[in-house]
Structures are given as structure tokens and as C-alpha cells.
Chains A and B, each alone.
Chain A
Amino acid sequence: MNLEELVKRAKEGDQEALVQLVLAKKEELYKLAYVYLGNNEDVLDAMEDMIVLLFENIRRLKNEASFYSWSKTILVNCCHSALRKQKKVIAMEKVPEGSYLDVFAEKEEQIALRKHWAKLSEKQREVLKLRFYLDLDYESMARILNIPLGTVKSRIHSGLKVLQRSIGGEWVEQI
């Protein structure tokens, strides 16, 4: 069954069709959410939220062919709200294994490179991750994030500039 037929059936309330649609691109969607959330449990939660929103709103989707970019936008929004919630909730009751102070210091050394990331704004990090972790092109990013193409370009450009200044290495224009 092709994409448009499946979307049409999903619009009529066929849950199976919707699940099939999501599963067909599960890898792409899963990795997209992982870029934001960084762990399996949160990604699965976000994808659950996404499919519920898809189901409730699919009748409003005008163009069947744009189903996937529309669902990616929704997934990104789910990730954003999950991150917002994480900021507010700090669980105190669980001390994870290997949480002694020295151990943290060791891990920090291993990820020293990430300190450069910290200098970027959240929005710059978002586009840079999508661009370089997932190899998305500018147009798809603009569609998924619902922002103009120019904004995507300028965020990437300014983000790379900040990184360049932070690392002080050679400036590689082609990426």
C-alpha cells in the first residue's frame, strides 16, 4: 500500500495504518528524537506522545504526501516539551551506580569536547546536531522546525562560527 492510501486510511481513524506509517520510517524518527533526548526511554516516551498527537490531528493534514515532515515537526515539538519538563523535575530519590564525585570527574575528561557545545545557544545546537548527526539538508530542517530557510542557514553559520572561535582550529568552510 502506498503512502497516500495509508494516510487516507489513518485519517478515517485506522490505527493500524498509522502504526504502519510510523514503523516504515521508525529508524529516521527514532534517531531524530534521540538527537534531542539522548536516551532510549525518553525517546520511546516522546514517540508515544507523537503518535497520539498524530492520531488526534491527522484529519487536519491537508497534503498527504507531506505526512513525514509533518510528523517530524510534531516529534520535535514532543521532544522540546519533554526537555522542558526535564528541566523542572530533578529526581532526588535515585542515586545511580557510579555516582561518586571522582567518577564524574573522569567522565568529564572523556567528554571534554562537549564543553565547546556549551558555548552554543540551544537553537544553534539543535540545527547543528540535525545537520551533522542526521545529515539533514537545509530544506528538510526548515520544514521540520517550521522556520524559514534563511533562519536555518544563519543559525548554522553563526553556530559554526562560535565553535570555530571556541576550538580555534582550522575553519572548514565546506561543511
Chain B
Amino acid sequence: MNKFEDVFEQGRAEIERLSVPDELEARLRSALANRRVPRRRLQQWKLRIAVAFIAFSLIAYNYDALAYYGKQFLGYDQIMNGTLKQLNELGKGQLIGKSYSFKNGFVLTVDGVMLDSNQLLLFSTLKDPAGKIDQGDMMPRMIIKGLTGEYMENNSTGEISADKTEIKSVTSFAPPKFFEKNLTLTVSIMDKGTMDTGNISFTLNRNTAMGYTLKKNINQIFKVDGTKLHIDSILASPTKTVINGSVMNILELAEAKLSGEERLVHISPDSFDLRLYANDKELAKQGGGMGTNLQGITFNEDYDALPPNLQKLEIKLVSLRAEHQVNQSFTLKPGLNNPSLSILGQTIEIKKVYPSDGETCITLSSEDGVVLTKVYLLIDGTRVSLNNTQEDHYDKIAEGKSGKIIHTRTLHFPGTGQNLMLDIQRMTYVKTYNETVNIPVS
């Protein structure tokens, strides 16, 4: 067969097989529900006069209050968490107020920055006077350049205004080195396939920087199921608290590789549930990350800032999800009465086995977090791999005081036959540990 035609044939056949799902009609109707015919816009000049008038009367009567708010970043209420709001109210940031205009009419303004030992927070507003901000490149890429290097964007939160003329966002960067003073923010947006890049320079005012509140080496290890979770250090600053650790250090990594162990590859940032308690109260988790470098597989977990009168600080490993070898096969019968499977202490209920459209479908349910990561079906002795998983749904089930979530889904395997055997080679599941490490705070 001509390979050239193959390239198109696969895709074309897939498109031709498609049928429009029945739910489309309902979805279209529900999308339109509650939509009214848009009102004609008020004439521009009328609107402007009204805005000017309202602004004037508000400023005239509230001059004192405005002087107080003068040191704060305004309009960020929705995207700041409680801690940031408090710091903002205390005027802990540095106002900047510099802009760059992109060629497509968008304007990016840096309203200000907030700096402590954990991060540099950049408060910015992206404006589109045309009111079509959601149709352009909504998230400019940002890099801060200093004397010696670049500081990359870690994460960012933003909100589009109701009239779609602006996006306010708070972007977190790694904190600049202590000697950095003059910084340049490089912003770029994509517009019609080309990149538009601009620079905004500003000078850091170190007097507004907030430093840290607690810095400690911890060096504790959670031993879990053959894997070691090192908790290396904690750095708490007014904006957030960061725990640094590693899954395996470089020696353990080498050892595991030599012994042919593969488990470490399957730990991802969301594999473990690590919580931080200050004065017996859980701190909200803000994010985290994981990377591989010369020190092994390292991770950081970010939490809210510590409370002011800290007496007790604990790190708790609640659970860990890891991958396990199974290598077991189970005979299945078409229909509803298959016994449930018990694998490594986990129960998987086989609800239904049925053929449909030339595929064999297996509906099964298990506790949430149990995933068959390597699974095959033997149809009359022939091994086929999983096509896709559909119709996921989750049910909450009350069990005494606590509840659990049951995940039901249907696995689709290509082909049908009489003798079916489910070959489960690997699966992941969540194991609960509830182990605690105490961190001395004095």
C-alpha cells in the first residue's frame, strides 16, 4: 500500500466513522439557556461622560480613603488568598506602575511587586480596550532578567473582568539574588503566529522586602513501602511556606537502577499527600513541584504562610500512591455476574462485560486512586491492548464517619470473542500511612 495515502487514510477513516452524539442537542440548548439578546451598546460619548462624572464624585468624597489605599494594589481581591490580602492591606508591596504596549493594542502594566525569601510576586494588568481580551493570547510569557541570570515564572493566577477588557494577574517568580537591584521584565505574547516582545525595567526597593520567618533543616525520612521520602528543609516567609525534599537521593537512585527496580519512576508530585499543621491547624496547600537533578528526584510543596504565634509545627504524610507489579489473569464471562477481583488488598468489582460495536467493554469499579496501568484482554487466546476508557463517574459512599469515592468506568478493548481473560500486569493504588514528623520551632 502507498504509505503516502496511509497518512491520510487513518484520520479520514476515523472521521468518517464518527457519529454525532445525541447529547449534542441538549448541550446546545443548555448553553443557550439564560442567554438574552445582547443589548445595544450605550453610545460611547454618553458612557464616557457618565464614567467621568461617577469617578469625580467618588474621588471628591473619598479623598482620605484613597490616600490610605494609595500604597495598595487595587482590584486584586478575587485572586489574592487571605495571607496576600492581609499583606496588601498592610502596604507590604512596592508600587511600580509601568507599562508596555503590544502591537495588537494590548497593554501590560506592572502594578507592583511583593518580595520575600520564597518568591517575587508580580502584580500585573493586561488590558485590551477593544473588550476582546479573551480572544487573544491571554497569558503573556514573562521572564525577569537580572544582573546574573534569569528568573522564570513559577505560576500565575488571573481573572478576566466581566467586560473582557482586562485581566489582572499575580505571577510568582523565584526570588532574585540578594545583590539584584535593577530588573527587567521581558513579556511576550503571540499574535497571529508572531511573537511580540517588550521590556519593562524596574528597580527593586529592598526596604519593602519581607525576608523569612522560619528557616530550618529537617533531615527526616518517611520510609514507605521500600521508597524513602526525605524531608530536607522548610522555609517560611510572609507569603508562603515551602517544604523541600527528595524522593530518593542520588545514591539511592543509582542503587535502585542497578537492582533493576523501577518503582521510583512512577512517583509524581501528586503521588503523595503531605500536609503541614501549624498549632494543630492544617495550612492550605498552594502548589508544588518536582524535578530531577544531581541530587536525585527533588520536590517542593507550597503551603500558606505560618500563623504569627507559632508553637507547634508538624508535617504529616497522609498517603502515598505507588505503582505495583500484579501479573495476574482473571477469567471473565460476558454478562452481569462476574465475581469481584481482589488484587493486592484492593477490590475491583466487575459490573458488566458486554460486546458493543466490535469492541469488548468491561465496566468495573474500584476505590478512587486504583488504576490499572498496564492491562490487556485475552480474547480467545489473542492478547489485545486497551483502546480507551469511557463513562467515568464517581460516587461518594458513606462508610461510618468517613466516606470513600468509588470510581466506575468502562474499558474498551478492540475485538470480541467467547473466552475472555483480563490480564492485569501493573496497577497503582493509594496506601494510607498517617505518619507525623515534629519540627522544633524554638
Contacts and interface: CB of A to CB of B under 8 A. Distances in A.
Interface of A: 13, 15, 18-19, 22-23, 26-27, 30-31, 34-35, 40, 44, 47-49, 51-52, 55-56, 77, 81, 84, 88, 92-93, 95-103, 106-107, 111, 113, 116-117, 123, 128-129, 132-134, 163-164, 167, 169-170, 172
Nearest to A38: B14
A113 B12 CA distance: 14
Interface residues of B, number: 50
B389 interface: yes
A132 B8 CA distance: 7
A107 B428 CA distance: 20
A99 B389 CA distance: 11
B434 interface: no
B256 to A, nearest CB: 16
Contact of A95 (B21, B30, B371): B371
Nearest to B23: A44
B55 interface: no
Q: Which of B25, B29, B139, B373 has the most CB of A within 10 A?
A: B373
Contact of B3 (A129, A133, A167): A167
B372 A97 contact: yes
Interface string B415-430: 0000000000110100
B385 A106 contact: yes
Contacts, number: 126
Determine the main DSSP class of A at the interface with B. helix
A100 B4 CA distance: 31
B302 interface: no
A56 B21 CA distance: 25
Given A23-B24, A95-B371, 19 more contacts: A13-B37, A34-B15, A81-B134, A92-B270, A97-B375, A97-B389, A98-B373, A98-B375, A99-B373, A101-B265, A103-B385, A132-B12, A133-B11, A133-B15, A164-B4, A167-B7, A170-B4, A172-B4, A172-B5
Interface of B: 2-8, 10-12, 15, 18, 20-21, 23-25, 27-32, 35-38, 134-135, 137, 139, 193, 265, 268-270, 323, 371-375, 385-386, 389, 409, 411, 425-426, 428
Given A44-B24, A56-B35, A100-B426, A169 B374 contact: no
B374 A102 contact: yes
A81 B164 CA distance: 15
